[in-house]
A and B are shown apart, each in its own frame.
Chain A
Amino acid sequence: MKDRAQGHLREKLNPELPASARVVVVGAGVIGCAIAREITRYTPDVVVLEKENDVACGASKANNAEVHSGIGEEVGTLKQKLNVRGNYMYDEFVAGLGVDFKRQGLLIVVTPRSVPPEVAEKMSPEQLDELLRVRIPEGIVAYGEAAGIKGLRVLSREEVLRREPNVTPEAVSGVFDPNYGLVCPYKLTIALAEHAVINGARVFLNTEVTGIRVEDGEVKGVITNRGEIAAPLVINAAGVFADEVAEMAGAGGFRIHPRKGATLLFDRQVTSEYVRSSVALFRMPGMKKERSKGGGAMPTVEGNLQLGPTAVEVEDKNDTSISAEEIEEIFERFHYLLPSFPREAVISAFSGVRAPTYEEDFVIEASDKVRGFVNVAGIQSPGLASAPAIVEMVMGFLHELGIPREPRPDFDPVRPATPRFAELDDRERDALIRKDPRWGNIVCRCEYVTEAEVLAAIHSLIPATDMDGVKRRTRTGMGRCQGGFCGHRVAAILARELGIPITEVTKSGGPSPLYLGETKDFLCSERVGHG
């Protein structure tokens, strides 16, 4: 029985590339997977190629998980339009995927620091008070409504502090935007990819695109490190590498300049009630340009407080490091907005790299240089929020390019999700354990993850094959101890299920082994060589 499971897994891990496909999507981030899922509503013949060993390995795993409403974006940009529409579409977008989506709202706080000192200086105290208390919040609401954002509400100082008691007492007024939502970005990506697979798509991991075949101004296929796939339609959803993939096809014309964002994550045991909605400080346009377009304090869907992100231009598209300056900047920035946030409860810090173009807008186009090649590039924040609308726009092009307009009658609208032990009540937990005792074996003590959940992650449609893959699907190692207790247990289960020695288990694929040998392995002569 176990052998058979391993056989299936091996097959699943090393599938042969097909010779051809109707559509090839390059990049298995949230955008690539969302597009692939949508295509399967009309045709199952879609292939997703990803150079990493899992989906959601780029920006999709390291953003702040917010589904913005569009209120921060410049009116008239594609970004703003797609964001407002995407937010509106979100409930339908996630329906059937088995991922949590919560509209927790955004509280924009207005304080004396919302106005540049040189502006404040020229005003009488009454004028300044009028500005902060009335004109700014009403201005924000008017601006938002003009952009199509519904339900914005001006809050008094008392209402602000009642809603979020941890916000600075200097708050003068605020605006509440109920549209803001939270979704776990990598779980969403995994769910979209699996939903696509359920409906016929094939996802190939560890498959790097090295060239695009173009003949007579028409795309013919994709060349990879593992062979070639012929295809009349290619979608470039390669994130920070989208400019390079576009150049391969001769369909470029834009440049991605990577911009890093770092976020601090806090222990949810301490912070689950710290803020209810996302919270941001309002700053008047034209004020000393913040390095990030905003950033804020927000809970995750799981209840951890997160602060950030920063915005730092970097040379290297793979620069996911965090600098001491960034950590300091986050602490400094939020100390004012949330004077009492629990600094000592940081459990993790991570960075992602955004993919802005110099125009700072999305590039979503059916290439006019290469027929059949579609760019979905420059997708930075609010890309996660805009995803449903981006997909809708891309489908418009694809229907023009020959994808049927009639949905398939056999499209399965539901992607079954593994239950989360931590979220069940005791009766449900007990029932699961009666059926399979591995539901009673807690592997991760901080996050209450059971062996059954780890097994489900490893044997899922997009198998988790390393520690980070299991972590993203189950939350093992995401708690206070950061894997100190459960690391070796998860590694042992991975080794057993994948049929490999534990010394071959990796953190994140490639050369990232957890263990460099067994005891006594280094006690041989070669150590002399080290001097």
Chain B
Amino acid sequence: MAKVRKPDLVVIGAGPAGLGAALAAREAGLRDVMLIERDVELGGILPQCIHDGFGSIVFGETLTGPQYAQRFIDRVEKADMDIKLNTMVLDLRPDRSLTAVNSRDGILEIKPRAVVLAMGCRERTRHQVLIPGYRPAGVICAGAAQRDINIEGLMPGRRVVILGSGDIGLIMARRFTLEGAEVEGVYEIMDHPGGLTRNLVQCLHDYDIPLHLSHTVTFIHGRKRVEAVTVSRVDGNLKPMPGTERLVPCDTLVLSVGLIPENELSRRAGVVLDPATGGPVVDERMETSVEGIFACGNVMNVFDLVDYVTHTAEVAGRAAAEYVLRGVARKPEALRVRPGRNVRFVVPQLLRGYGGEVSFYFRVSRPERAVRARLVTGGIPLAAKRARMVRPPEMVRLRADPERLVEALSRGDLTVEVVPEDEGPERQG
């Protein structure tokens, strides 16, 4: 077998998170950065996202997925790093050593000084939401369908029912329609849509595709290829209501029923995961519970905007570089950042007090109007932000002033909460 390689940093995954982290690390002065990607090209899922809306925060303009990715790919290619495409990491161990494989090098043994996890996420499948029925061809996840159409040039369906109103489901409703397929409707088990408002308008309303809230698919018909699905209305406990079944003929069921951070390697390395996010517990430098292993992007939790992915990647990349270059030891003490009222989860989950501005990302549990999001400790707000409307699909970013965070360190754990606007002692921007 080939000899052991010892780069400064290995970044696992070359989607927006991996690209951003590798670049940030390189720009922070790390010389020997290895970027490992299991697919045939850089960019992760972005190359298949040919719709626009990417980059409004990072670049102040809206780009398509391939355009957004290309801006990073161009820089990465100039940045002189060891890019390994078609290479799959098989194992990652708590001492940060890893084993990877490709057809040119064979088995690669790598012992980097730091690792950034940027493996992204994968789609929940039909069986994870337990849809009864047969198992024919024609049941496909929305992201896989997007890849088929936009990259492979293949149509996985002609008469389509979409389950789930997440962004990919909505975008695919429009995409199928534009290709001449017929989208019968989008069915959503919750009583509110799962995707961004702009996608509801631009992908469904503009094409007269009906959205059926509080509905789900309760049977898949067809032994060889999907022939129809049964849809039913659900009650307040999301249970299908007998008597509301309706048979919808179709040849394809597209599922947009959620994304799961891809943390199989993290688990092997012993990284502690947060059950609320499905991703690693990280501190404000995006360092996981295993020293020298950092995480960023959708491997941490599923972001709604790629811009946020890039932000976390830059934090992780810089922190990894600092860790290697200056041997910044991890501060042992950490405050917990807890989800409070109407907050489902927060990242980072820990604050160690390295200094510098920190962005907290969180999702609400339920839609609410006229609210104030705030970070508090001991009843004192450290950061706050008003919002006309918060919705579970749309992540909220709350930036906290470095000085106030340092102050907070003596006061104990922090809470992120969403409260009605008229509550709370002070108004802040």
Contact A516 B155 (CB under 8 A): yes
Q: Which residues of B contact A485 (CB under 8 A)?
A: 122, 144
Interface residue? A324 (CB, 8 A): yes
Interface residue? B147 (CB, 8 A): yes
Contact bitstring A499-511, B, C-beta under 8 A = 1, else 0:
0001100111111
Interface residue? B61 (CB, 8 A): no
Once the chains are docked, how many angstroms separate the CA of A510 from the CA of B137?
11
Knowing A434-B106, A512-B224, the reply to whether A327 touches B155 (Cβ < 8 A) is: no
Q: A513 is contacted by which of B1, B130, B225, B264 (Cβ under 8 Å)?
A: B225
Contact B104 A484 (CB under 8 A): no
Once the chains are docked, how many angstroms separate the CA of A507 from the CA of B140?
12
The size of the chain A interface, using a CB distance under 8 A, is 60
Residues of chain B from 68 to 92 with CB closer than 8 A to chain A in the complex: 86, 88, 90
Contact A445 B38 (CB under 8 A): yes
Interface residue? B143 (CB, 8 A): yes
Q: Which residues of B contact A427 (CB under 8 A)?
A: 1, 107
Interface residue? A225 (CB, 8 A): no
Contact A517 B158 (CB under 8 A): yes
Q: A521 is contacted by which of B130, B144, B180 (Cβ under 8 Å)?
A: B180
Which stretch (A91-99, A118-126, A341-349) binds chain B? A341-349
Q: Which residues of A contact B152 (CB under 8 A)?
A: 488, 502
Which stretch (B95-103, B306-314, B321-329) binds chain A? B95-103
Contact B179 A346 (CB under 8 A): no
Knowing A437-B104, A440-B101, A516-B158, the reply to whether A320 touches B135 (Cβ < 8 A) is: yes
Contact B127 A527 (CB under 8 A): no
Q: Which residues of A contact B149 (CB under 8 A)?
A: 519
**Nearest chain A CB to B255 CB, angstrom units:** 10
Q: Which residues of A contact B182 (CB under 8 A)?
A: 527, 530
Interface residue? A14 (CB, 8 A): no
Interface residue? A481 (CB, 8 A): yes
Interface residue? B157 (CB, 8 A): yes
Contact bitstring A331-362, B, C-beta under 8 A = 1, else 0:
00000000000001011111000000000000
Residues of chain A from 296 to 347 with CB closer than 8 A to chain B in the complex: 318, 320-324, 326-327, 344, 346-347
Q: Which residues of B contact A429 (CB under 8 A)?
A: 101, 106-107
Contact B122 A508 (CB under 8 A): no
Contact A346 B122 (CB under 8 A): no
Interface residue? B153 (CB, 8 A): yes
**Nearest chain B CB to A300 CB, angstrom units:** 15
Contact B154 A430 (CB under 8 A): no
Interface residue? B365 (CB, 8 A): no
Contact A518 B153 (CB under 8 A): yes
Q: Which residues of B contact A515 (CB under 8 A)?
A: 148, 154-156
Contact bitstring B182-213, A, C-beta under 8 A = 1, else 0:
10000000000000000000000000000000
Contact B143 A484 (CB under 8 A): yes
Residues of chain A from 472 to 531 with CB closer than 8 A to chain B in the complex: 480-482, 484-485, 487-488, 502-503, 506-524, 527, 530
B107, B122, B125, B224 — which one has the most chain A CB atoms within 10 A of its CB?
B107
Knowing A427-B1, A437-B104, the reply to whether A507 touches B136 (Cβ < 8 A) is: yes
**Nearest chain B CB to A122 CB, angstrom units:** 39
Q: A327 is contacted by which of B106, B128, B130, B136 (Cβ under 8 Å)?
A: B130
Q: Which residues of A contact B127 (CB under 8 A)?
A: 346-349, 482
Interface residue? A442 (CB, 8 A): yes
Q: Which residues of A contact B147 (CB under 8 A)?
A: 488
Q: Which residues of A contact B159 (CB under 8 A)?
A: 530
Q: Which residues of B contact A440 (CB under 8 A)?
A: 101-106
**Nearest chain B CB to A38 CB, angstrom units:** 32
Interface residue? B289 (CB, 8 A): no
Interface residue? A75 (CB, 8 A): no
The majority secondary structure among interface residues of chain B is mixed
Q: Which residues of B contact A508 (CB under 8 A)?
A: 137, 224
Q: Which residues of A contact B137 (CB under 8 A)?
A: 467, 506-508, 512-514
**Nearest chain B CB to A335 CB, angstrom units:** 15
**Nearest chain B CB to A199 CB, angstrom units:** 33
**Nearest chain A CB to B325 CB, angstrom units:** 31
Once the chains are docked, how many angstroms separate the CA of A488 from the CA of B148?
7
Once the chains are docked, how many angstroms separate the CA of A511 from the CA of B156?
14
Interface residue? B29 (CB, 8 A): no
Once the chains are docked, how many angstroms separate the CA of A458 from the CA of B180?
34
A482 (CB) vs chain B CBs: closest residue: B125
Contact B125 A524 (CB under 8 A): no
Q: A512 is contacted by which of B1, B101, B157, B225 (Cβ under 8 Å)?
A: B225
Interface residue? B283 (CB, 8 A): no
Once the chains are docked, how many angstroms separate the CA of A387 from the CA of B101?
40
Interface residue? A292 (CB, 8 A): no
Interface residue? B366 (CB, 8 A): no
Knowing A269-B267, A322-B132, A488-B147, the reply to whether A482 touches B223 (Cβ < 8 A) is: no
Once the chains are docked, how many angstroms separate the CA of A430 from the CA of B100?
11
Once the chains are docked, how many angstroms separate the CA of A327 from the CA of B109?
44
A485 (CB) vs chain B CBs: closest residue: B122
Q: Which residues of A contact B224 (CB under 8 A)?
A: 506-512
Q: Which residues of A contact B219 (CB under 8 A)?
A: 321, 323
Q: Which residues of B contact A506 (CB under 8 A)?
A: 137, 224
Interface residue? B251 (CB, 8 A): yes
Q: A350 is contacted by which of B107, B109, B135 (Cβ under 8 Å)?
A: B135
Once the chains are docked, how many angstroms separate the CA of A508 from the CA of B104?
33
Interface residue? A438 (CB, 8 A): yes
Once the chains are docked, how many angstroms separate the CA of A344 from the CA of B257?
14
Residues of chain B from 117 to 153 with CB closer than 8 A to chain A in the complex: 122-123, 125-128, 130, 132-137, 141, 143-144, 147-149, 152-153
Q: Which residues of A contact B144 (CB under 8 A)?
A: 484-485, 487-488
Taking A481-B123, A484-B123, A522-B158 as known contacts, 9 extra A-B pairs with beta carbons closer than 8 A to each other, sorted by chain A number, are A318-B223, A327-B132, A427-B1, A437-B103, A437-B104, A441-B102, A503-B154, A517-B154, A521-B155
CB pairs A–B below 8 angstroms (22 shown): A269-B264, A320-B134, A323-B132, A327-B130, A346-B127, A346-B130, A429-B106, A430-B106, A433-B107, A439-B103, A440-B102, A440-B104, A485-B122, A488-B147, A507-B224, A508-B137, A514-B137, A516-B158, A522-B155, A522-B179, A524-B180, A527-B180
Binding site for B on A (CB under 8 A): 269, 318, 320-324, 326-327, 344, 346-350, 426-427, 429-430, 433-434, 437-442, 445, 448, 467, 480-482, 484-485, 487-488, 502-503, 506-524, 527, 530
